[in-house]
Structure 1
Amino acid sequence: MTERMFDIAIVGGGLAGGLTALAVHRAHPQLRLALFEAGEVFGGNHRWSWFASDLDDAGTDLLASFRKTEWPGGYDVAFPAHSRTLGSAYRSLASPDFDAALRRELPQEAIRTRSRVVALAANGITLDNGEHISARTVVDCRDFQPSPHLRGGWQVFMGRNLRADTPHGLARPIVMDARVAQHDAYRFVYTLPLGAEELFVEDTYYADSPVLDRNALSGRIDRYCAAMGWHGDILGGETGVLPVITGGDFAAYRRDLREPGVVQIGARGGFTHPLTSYTLPCAVANALVLAREAMLPGEQLAALFEKRAHAHWRTMRFFRRLGRMLFDAARPDERYRIFERFYRLREPLIERFYAGAPTYGDKLRILSGKPPVPVTDAVRALLGKGSPLVHEKPQ
């Protein structure tokens, strides 16, 4: 058995872990750090997208070195009774570019792919090959863990990269196209024009169950692309099941997963937008905070992020309530009406909503007027507990 020593060991090479490693290395290049990822590459097989308004200048700077696609001309949304173009700049980062930038910027000794961690403690980690690695600080950035302590529904999706036979003619992203059959969920298709002939098309569902029927979703993407006149070769794709958290006992959730003295951030730590399932703004903010405080002892960092997690949970209360109305007050095939109404609101409000920072006035405006769900059903949903997030991810 061998043993090595690092200042900071980061477990999980996804978005939160990779950005944290990059931020720490930039702020403290003298520290010995390592980023441990069980897979072959950092970031897995994913695409992360965000509005430019989601990040401040420091966050934008952290992502500056990543190759990404940007649309300064805004984006479109489309619903059965309402379509609109919004002016917010939109950006997207694919996991191969995420992996390439980390390998380019991090020290060689920090890159530890194909390294599955089986145990974490405040003073180090153990790999599945028996190797023990000591560290002054251990940071847990692994994926979300389903839990009976949390309530909500699921965001189920399948994405496809397509190279069309002819130019597709799409000038900007379609962030939501809900003019499609709903299939017992809030369903919309999300499309990014990545080049003159290249597209990323994703079929997304706000569903009560985490079941992902690959054949059904693939066929629906086929039909959507055919209806849009897009024909060509499939270059790749991705699937996913994300939690949409509407309530629960967050303290119990954290207690179940917490290792004493281990810093816990990322989706597993509860750092996500509970309604949209976006993690990038949280991942950026936490990476910058950890980099700023990286010289603190590990136990103090763990306590700091414990407080941040509970503060984030309190801040996101409004979104969890909206999620309960979405899942428990609206009929599945009528859930789109909630978003259709939302996208009639003023654009600055919409930007603050996605950034997770609505004002008090924004909240009143979202809830005012004729509700898109029956009032009695909305009240019942708000008073109810919702369904536990205990389903296993599909294989």
Structure 2
Amino acid sequence: MWPPLRNDTFLRACLRQPTDYTPIWLMRQAGRYLPEYKATRARAGSFMGLATNVDYATEVTLQPLERFPLDAAILFSDILTVPDAMGLGLSFAEGEGPRFATNVRDEAAVDRLAVPDMAKLRYVFDAVTSIRKALDGRVPLIGFSGSPWTLACYMVEGAGSDDYRAVKTLMYARPDLMHRILAINADAVAAYLNAQIDAGAQAVMVFDSWGGVLADAAFRTFSLAYTQRVLAGLQREKDGQRIPAIVFTKGGGQWLEAVADIGPDVVGLDWTTDLGAARRRVGDRVALQGNLDPMALFAPPEAVQAEARAALDSFGKGPGHIFNLGHGISQFTPPEHVAALVEAVHGYSRRLQVL
């Protein structure tokens, strides 16, 4: 059904297999820092108009690959599509973050939750298939979802938060309700990612964007355990090929070993964790993805390239590194600085492998 993959460097790195160079892709690589994205979004009329239209989602997913020789594409979508399909009413006001029309803060609201009918997310799966076809074997396609805990943060708060007061209050006061929310979320995320794999995704990533706001015991109980439940429910092979699973917890460097132990192929790191030290901590259990500070991309190109070389030196030679930012790329990033980064990662890592 699919054309042969011409560049499998990213997939091989995920599985800690030898590569000629360190592959690179960027979180939010299809996005607001590109003028062509802004033009497409203007045609779509809104963020959700963009994300729910197969042609637009395909177009913006491929836009960064037309500019930069990146080693993977990532589906253009949002982490909150699953709770939206639960009926919570997702919207994006201009200049604001996501917001739900309905929040989940009491027993009655929790009782109404259920794993959504995946048919409500058909637009996502159709986009995955469309993008995979449009890539024509150029690079692999990554599917993704928010983690059960991160989804719960938005579902309870109703929007983003500075202190997570509502969701933490529910967690501490009614842990039984929180566990019910998270169990539903975990099963929904596993079903959602499996449907993306069936539609053509060649790797999947779980974004635990808000795991790092939790105390140690709470992280292990309310975030990590449910991310593990997602991984346990994933199909890890499709058409005879391994489907790598990536887990990224922003602010989660102190739990690196614990995250590695729940079964991902790759653990994503933010910029607060040293790559070389992380590699020594996990050994050959998992590959590592990361972890340049996105703000480094505002420095002149030669400084960007120096930071890239420093990160590659920190990881060192050998397999198992996917270069990325430590979080999503800023909308204000100059595209020419991204070009300098990709060039430096590819060029320097090739030299590093043969030294």
Per the TM superposition, whether the score is higher than 0.5 is: no
Normalized per residue, the structure richer in strand is: 1
User: Whose radius of gyration is greater, 1 or 2?
Assistant: 1
User: TM-score, normalised to structure 2's length?
Assistant: 0.28
Normalized per residue, the structure richer in helix is: 2
User: TM-score, normalised to structure 1's length?
Assistant: 0.26
